[in-house]
A and B are shown apart, each in its own frame.
Chain A
């Protein structure tokens, strides 16, 4: 009986070691390769975006938009909707940002006006130096 018990626990040990040494690499293998967040700056000329206009850009691989809000100046927002990740589009006539997927609507400060998005759009730091707009 003692011998049988010993062999049983030995088998359990071997089995679990094999399992773990397979499972760990598997999890690592499937997990996405970690990507370093590259902080790149982007600069634009002020006259490229007249008041009321917007410009779509890509910042650190993220689609973003710079809007020249009438009377309030420039703002840089991520275009990725905080609901489920579609890209919002600038609606000049209504002065808002609309997400086509589930009809989320944001104002030009990125705040949610209506629809399902839970959070405002991510805002990126933006500076104006002379005639140049610097984002990021």
Chain B
């Protein structure tokens, strides 16, 4: 039976040929490490978000009068609703963590360098879209946490003279965060952002396949000698084939991801759901100790420390822009960061600064 289906498919779409040319003969460097799998793990994380999100849509009501109660219903009454909600909540946090790690390892291994600038940019845009996903999703349960975090975030554009207020009002659909905002963010979360993210993913993966994987820069054999003046595909004739070797490595890491996710769901279910997420939104009362999610704590702390609103927010935009275009600033061909003390020092210092700001933001 299985044989006949396979044979049938083979005659029609040439599955074998596809697997041979696209997966088996596509070889990756022999010395790839586990950090190379993080992109794939992020992809799986996204798929989990999409699927759990579809299920949540069945019970969620995107209206300011009902949103909070519908989420409570999912958590307490709908059979296993809590599981899908927690998968979505925990999954979103883990997805951001995986993307951060992916970005750090790509930076550390110098994989963003010529000719892979566009891959880096597509990846950065995906990070920004993911964070927009997180922000818009945060409002949907219509809790105190949702309401006030969104108030703060949508007020950020007001730091800019003339256009700022207009942009803020455009985002919120009015002067304050209201039911209109909820509907806007809902539309963003379920209809506008997904195709954008998927589109960027396609570009990202296309570029990786088209250019060829970069190899870890830590031994002499991987050194690129030819200058990059015209297109060529980077291949590794005596590397490992993508399937099954690399795919297995990938699966191993995906399994690890799932273990972490279900461990958190089982043993620390409230890790990402602080007190204020259990109180319905109240536009007349800002709760004490309102804090953003961990991945926004560093920018949050920065905003608190910089007394000038315009300066604080433009600095953050400048930082994002610098990272986005980083491959065009760093044009040295040396890819081994260990041989570039200045870059290594800056990298480590920014990382430490980020951690310090995050901890500080958490405790203050």
Contact = CB atoms under 8 A, between A and B. Distances in A.
Task: Indicate the size class of the contact surface on chain B.
Answer: 20 to 34
A121 to B, nearest CB: 14
B180 interface: yes
Contacts of A84: 151-153, 155-156, 158, 303, 309
Nearest to B148: A86
B290 interface: yes
Contact of A58 (B284, B288, B289, B308): B284
Interface stretch (A2-10, A14-22, A67-75, A95-103): A95-103
Nearest to A118: B309
A99 to B, nearest CB: 8
A86 B286 contact: yes
Nearest to B150: A85
Contacts of A83: 155, 309
Contacts, number: 71
Which applies to chain A's interface (DSSP): helix, strand, loop or mixed?
Answer: loop
A65 to B, nearest CB: 11
B307 interface: yes
Contact of A85 (B152, B289, B303): B152
A32 B170 contact: yes
B152 A116 contact: no
Interface size class, chain A: 20 to 34
Contact of A116 (B158, B176, B286, B304): B304
Given A84-B152, A84-B158, A100-B290, 6 more contacts: A32-B170, A61-B175, A83-B155, A84-B309, A86-B151, A116-B306
28 contacts: A30-B170, A31-B170, A32-B169, A32-B173, A61-B175, A63-B283, A84-B152, A84-B155, A84-B156, A85-B152, A85-B155, A85-B176, A86-B148, A86-B152, A86-B286, A87-B285, A87-B286, A89-B286, A100-B290, A101-B286, A101-B290, A103-B364, A115-B304, A116-B304, A116-B306, A116-B312, A118-B308, A118-B309
Closest 6 CB pairs of A and B: A84-B155, A85-B155, A87-B286, A84-B152, A86-B286, A102-B304
